[in-house]
A and B are shown apart, each in its own frame.
Chain A
Amino acid sequence: MSLLSLLIFLPLAAGLLILVLPYAWQQRYKYVALAAVGIQVIMSAFIYLNFDGNAFSGIDAKSKYQLVEQVSWINLQLGRLGSLQIDYFLGIDGLSMPFLVLSSVVMFIAVLSSWEIKTNLKGYFALLMLLNTAIMGVFCALDFFLFYIFYELMLLPLYFLIGMWGGARREYAAIKFFLYTLFGSVFMLLVIIGLYFSVQDPITGNHTFNMLHMMNPDNYIPGSIFSALAEQQIFGIPARLLGFIVLFIAFAIKVPIVPLHTWLPDAHVEAPTPVSIILAGILLKIGGYGILRICMSIFPDAAIDSAWWLGLIGVVSIIYGALNALAQNDLKRMIAYSSVSHMGFVLLGIASITAEGISGAMLQMISHGFLSTMLFFLVGVIYNRVHSRYIHDFRGLALIMPKYTTFIMIAFFASLGLPGFSAFIAEAFSLIGAFTSESVNGLLPRWMAICGSIGILLSAAYLLWTLQRMFFGKTRLMGGEDWKSKLTDVNGREIFVLTSLTVFALLLGILPSLAFDKMNASVLELIRLVNLK
């Protein structure tokens, strides 16, 4: 078994172990989980260090991927329909490798923050490990069918994690989340089948789910539904455009974009802290990753045609999310809306189809992964102590929790794009990409970048306002003296988590080449692929 398989299935094994361990040991489940994610962190660090970002650009050529595993998995002779060919096909390139590192770190922190979970530990940790497997699988899979299996597999544990360990309206939030995502992925399945019947393996001649084959126009069967030359139409819309839109909507719900975002605030508010962390830190990125890996690579022609709309959606999300964040009284809800705003930069950068824009979008996803993890962890800290998240329930926290305040200031300033932290480089590059797009490829008008940058201003407004209301002034708490005694400053475990996240955000902000150098070749390759059309 090679490294990627190990990375994917190690947590599954840990989950199974937890299931068979006796209940009497339930206080130790978390250590099993922690060991598994700890090993994953080491493995992904190893992968990162050995990753060659220059020679292997990935994208549409198997030989340019690293750590490739390809095993024929399902091979059915279907008579007249040919043979069904599904491969267990894994590999990573510059677009996916950073997410393996991000996911393993976020997962590690999610497990560390699971110390707060008190009920039904067996189920909780088993589901968490299952989710972990699914997430790793999504980022490694290069066969569309395999991708879809992992993609749908994430839904199940998440539904239960929110629905069973969540807050007061957890069932509502869980169902809303589930239906929203399912809505997107059901139609995605139709496109997958359409692609399957349109694409041929150039060697065997079989239909195939191999994503890399789907990226090559030569592999499309003449006259098939998604063949670029056939110019088929469905409901009067070009088939390839429709396929792109359907896949885009499926991923955009995850990102999420406005107006398909209303599951996010509810899910975040109701989810327990570790699940919020995973949602914001990893799941949203699967949306952006999917758009790059699948929508743009398989339907580059449609991506160029829709770039203007993608950019517009990005800008609307940036401003709309920020304005909504400004109106929130619930700290967690505010951060959820700020996620909508920050993920808008990802879309804007991707839509520009420039090297700066896409690199910026990638870095923004990684940066936001660390920062949103930090923010939700921080919310979890006070929520665990006094079970309130309302901004106006707190005032002058800086006096009683100085260390906590330092960390929240770091997280806030990093999120509002202060130079020195990762978000600045990421957002600046997304915007530079969007801004130069007009002169490079004429896809996005300049006003989009200008409007997008207003989001940076608004983020300063809502974050600093929150800082002022909750942390400055004389201490005054909703729960009085009782709260004051419960609101102890951060403990060792919390300091460890927060410090390591701070280090990640600083490292990527001061030495962004740590990320850029690994993904540059893939980003350029992707742009080359898109521009071929």
Chain B
Amino acid sequence: MIDFVWLVPLFPLIGFLIIGLGRNILPKAVAGFIGSLTVLLSFAVSIAIFVQLESSAVKTHIVPLFDWIRAGNLLVPFSFQVDPLSALMLLIVTGIGFLIHVYSTGYMHHDAGFSKFFSYLNLFIFFMLLLVLGSNYIVMFIGWEGVGLCSYLLIGFWYTNSAYASAAKKAFIMNRIGDLGFLIGVFLIFATFGSLEFAQVFPQAANLAPNNPFLILITILLFIGATGKSAQIPLFTWLPDAMAGPTPVSALIHAATMVTAGIYMIARSNILFTLAPLTLEIVAIIGIATALLAATIAVTQTDIKKVLAYSTVSQLGYMFLALGVGAYTGAMFHVLTHAFFKALLFLGAGSVIHAMSNEQDMRAMGGLKKKLPITFITMLIGTIAISGIPPFSGFFSKDEILAHTYQHSKTLWVLGVIGAMFTAFYMFRMLFLTFYNKFRGTHEQEHHLHESPKSMTIPLIVLAALSVVGGFIGIPHILGGHHWLSQFLAPVFYQSSVRTGALTLDHQTEFLLMGVSVAGAVIAALIAFVKYSKNNHVPLADNVDRGTLARLSYHKYYIDEIYDFAISKPLNFLSGFFYRVVDKAAIDGVVQGLGRATTEASKGLRLLQSGNIGFYIFMMVAGIVALLLYGFYNI
């Protein structure tokens, strides 16, 4: 089956073409069916590939398709690489992708752009699969840019709203800033190693000594790319705005798959990063800083999707922290569990928004527990999972990250635990504000409240089940497991793990660390319970004065405003200056000036043609004299 891996991206591509070209002809049901079916087929092939790979002794398969570009020394084949890392990503992308397609058939049912939506979703899946399957940086970059395009199209899906269109543009451009880093990093890889194939670059890199300046530069550039796509400081502000897109998009692209591309890329290039400890340190610091910054913003947000968006930024920060401390498996583990529970939470939020007639402000919700029982139960599971409370999936992945962090640096670990407490707090805050106490919306909204259709609740239930059991693939040894995931991924991270070594904490410390983080999460959840459920606290209205800290957090530390002031305004000024002053006045001024000077000069010369014969004769004699003089002195 591995040789047929090209089928995986092919199905969604066909789906995109059929739905895209037939979007005005196909009935909604057909478009939704085709869209979901293609992803289901890809999922089936992915499972077959996974099974085959699991039993196969060879863990890395290169599947060449064709020689794509040949120019000069650069040969770029279009080929796919199937190994445990890409096989895992295939399952996440197609599996969760399929569930979200099914969910969308219900969620988008009344939308006029239904078929367009499905064509974009299929296209997204196609590019995402290219990204994870590419056997070289160019194919990966194609997927990388392609998912950016789909993200743009889907954020701006309801383009008649100018704010949404603007959010889409912001997302694309901030991603492009990161992509620039990626692209230059790729150039440097080519200049250093003479190839862009993973199979050629990594073995060469493994022979280099650590802290090679080129490796540090390459990894920093790649990491800049990752900060764009995976929404890290300083390029994270696009992700909360990206919530303008329909909620299934937020779940699929802006939580479960695309935003983890940066983590995937670094995990893929792990040997380069392992040999550049300086970069890893930067990655860890940026990761934890983003995790904390986003968490402190999430605690005051009132839009249910914004809370989840900042939560995503924060969780992505944890994944980068994991990469930074060398816990590549931990990072991928968290990618996986996060895909389950964050997709679940977003879809749950979508179900709430659907029921609330498109209301997203939690101040107008409350008491939805009874009306939306399935949504409530599943979201509760998601909340427990993300908070890191055992035995749900988030606990295992977060624990693994924190344990590795502790071994790397105690300070980072303390910060990590604080972040985890924030996570539990804002998530339970969201849960209580939405589902507990009395309903705070209008009568009309109350009247319309309903549980979502089956097409939406079934994906919720499946994801909830995965959020419960998903962590069991990585039970650590001290809890009696044998961490299947780590063994599965071991071949991919082999070169790195040889250099970094395994976790060396003794059992007592490990249990202690677990206990601290779980206790912290439970305490934070209790605080949220007391404040938002027991005391029935509702966040203040927008115009009411908050305390300084709360205001900073509520207004996202004014980072958007700072960027606007520091980047957009100067750029606009610069472009205006270049056009009006340099181009129009200076350059074109000179050009016009030359023309005018010629005209003026000939106007002057024209006066010599006075028609006065005496003057002509005088000039003639003067000329002859001048010539004679010239002749005397030169010969």
Q: B58-74: contact bitstring with A at CB < 8 Å (1 yes, 0 no)?
A: 00000000011111111
Given A324-B579, A396-B160, does the pair A453, B70 have CB atoms closer than 8 Å?
A: no
- Bound form: Cα–Cα A474–B162 in Å: 8
**CB proximity of A420 to chain B, nearest CB, Å:** 7
- Do A524 and B160 touch across chains, with their CB atoms under 8 A apart? no
Are A473 and B159 CB-contacts (below 8 A) given A418-B145, A454-B180? yes
**In contact, A460 and B141 (Cβ under 8 angstroms):** no
Residues on B with C-beta less than 8 A from A523 are 71-72
Q: Quick check: A356 and B159 within 8 Å, CB to CB?
A: no
Q: Does A279 contact B (CB under 8 A)?
A: no
15 further A-B contacts with Cβ under 8 Å, apart from A472-B159, A473-B161, are A262-B588, A320-B578, A324-B575, A327-B579, A328-B579, A355-B72, A355-B74, A398-B159, A419-B146, A425-B69, A460-B172, A460-B176, A461-B571, A471-B159, A513-B67
**Chain A residues near B146 (CB, 8 Å)?**
418-420
Contact B162 A464 (CB under 8 A): no
Q: Which of B181-189, B250-258, B260-268, B422-430 contacts A (4 or more CB under 8 A)?
A: B181-189
Q: Could you tell me which B residues sit within 8 Å of A by CB distance?
A: 67-74, 141-142, 145-146, 149, 152, 156, 159-162, 165-166, 168-169, 172-173, 176-177, 180, 183-184, 187-188, 190-191, 571-572, 574-576, 578-580, 582-583, 587-588, 591, 595
Q: Which residues of B contact A198 (CB under 8 A)?
A: none
Asked, given contacts A328-B579, A468-B165, A473-B162, whether A431 binds B187 with beta carbons under 8 Å apart, the answer is: yes
Residue of chain A at shortest CB distance from B72 = A355
B187 to chain A: closest residue by CB: A435
With contact pairs A262-B587, A520-B70 given, residues A420 and B187 touching in the complex (Cβ less than 8 Å): no
**Given A176-B591, A431-B187, A473-B160 in contact, is the A326-B575 Cβ separation under 8 Å?**
yes
Report which of A359, A438, A456, A472 forms a contact with B165, defined as CB distance below 8 A.
A472
Determine the chain A residues whose CB is within 8 A of the CB of B180 once the complex forms: 453-454, 456-457
A472-B67 in contact (CB<8A):
no
B160 touching A359, Cβ below 8 Å: no
The answer to whether A449 has its CB under 8 Å from any CB of chain B is yes
Tell me if A516 is interfacial: C-beta within 8 Å of chain B: yes
Whole-angstrom distance between the Cβ of B73 and the nearest chain A Cβ: 7
CB pair A420–B162 under 8 Å, yes or no, is no
In the complex the two chains form, is B578's CB within 8 Å of A327's CB? yes
**A413, CB-defined interface residue at 8 Å:** yes
A516 lies within 8 A of B69 (CB): yes
Whether A453 and B184, one on each chain, are in contact in the complex, defined by CB atoms closer than 8 angstroms, is yes
**Contact among B149, B187, B591 for A418, CB-based, below 8 A:** B149
Are B571 and A513 closer than 8 Å at their CB atoms? no
Chain A 328-352 interface mask (CB, 8 Å, partner B; 1/0) = 1000000000000000000000000
Given A179-B595, A324-B578, A513 contacting B69 (CB threshold 8 A): yes
The chain A residue with its CB closest to the CB of B573 is A327
Residues of B within 8 A of A520 (CB): 70-72
Bound-state CA distance A398–B183 (Å) is: 32
Residues on B with C-beta less than 8 A from A218 are none
Which residues of chain A have a CB within 8 Å of any CB of chain B?
176, 179-180, 258-259, 262, 320, 323-328, 354-356, 359-360, 396, 398-399, 413, 418-420, 424-425, 428-429, 431-433, 435-436, 438-439, 449-450, 453-454, 456-457, 460-461, 464-465, 467-468, 471-474, 512-513, 516-517, 520, 523-524
Top 10 A-B residue pairs of the complex, sorted by shortest distance between their CB atoms: A355-B72, A472-B165, A327-B579, A326-B575, A419-B142, A359-B71, A473-B162, A435-B187, A327-B575, A472-B159
> Given A323-B575, A413-B149, do A432 and B74 touch, yes or no (CB 8 Å)?
yes
CB distance from B182 to the nearest CB of A (A): 10
User: Contacts A327-B576, A453-B183, A457-B177 known; A356 to B68 CB distance under 8 Å?
Assistant: no
- The residue among B141, B187, B572 with the most chain A CB atoms within 10 A of its own CB is B187
CB distance A355 to B73 under 8 Å? yes
Q: Quick check: B159 and A436 within 8 Å, CB to CB?
A: no
Q: Which residues of chain A are near B595, meaning CB under 8 Å?
A: 179
Smallest Cβ distance from A112 to chain B, in angstroms? 23
CA distance A467 to B170 in the complex (A): 13
Residues of B within 8 A of A418 (CB): 145-146, 149
| Contacting residues, chain A, for B169 (C-beta < 8 A) | 464-465, 467-468
- Among B67, B69, B572, B588, point to the contact of A326 (Cβ < 8 A): B572
- Closest residue of B by beta carbon distance from A437: B191
Some 16 contacts from A to B, beta carbons below 8 A apart, are: A180-B591, A326-B571, A326-B575, A327-B572, A355-B71, A356-B71, A399-B160, A418-B149, A419-B145, A428-B183, A431-B183, A435-B190, A454-B180, A464-B152, A472-B156, A520-B70
Would you call B571 and A356 a contact (CB within 8 A)?
Answer: no
What residues of chain B lie closer than 8 Å to A359, measured between beta carbons?
71-72
Q: Complex: how many Å from CA A461 to CA B173?
A: 7
Q: Is B141 in contact with A356, judged by CB distance below 8 angstroms?
A: no
Nearest CB of A to B405, in Å: 34
- Contacts of B173 on A, CB cut-off 8 Å? 457, 460-461, 464
Interface contact B575-A457, CB-CB below 8 Å:
no
- Which residues of chain B are within 8 angstroms of A328 by Cβ–Cβ distance? 579
What is the CB-to-nearest-CB distance from B310 to chain A, in angstroms, rounded to a whole number?
A: 25
CA distance A523 to B71 in the complex (A): 9
Of chain B, the residue at the smallest CB distance from A395 is B162
Contacts of B142 in A (CB 8 A): 419-420
Please give, as numbers and ranges, the residues of chain A lying within 8 Å of B145 by CB-CB distance. Answer: 418-419, 424
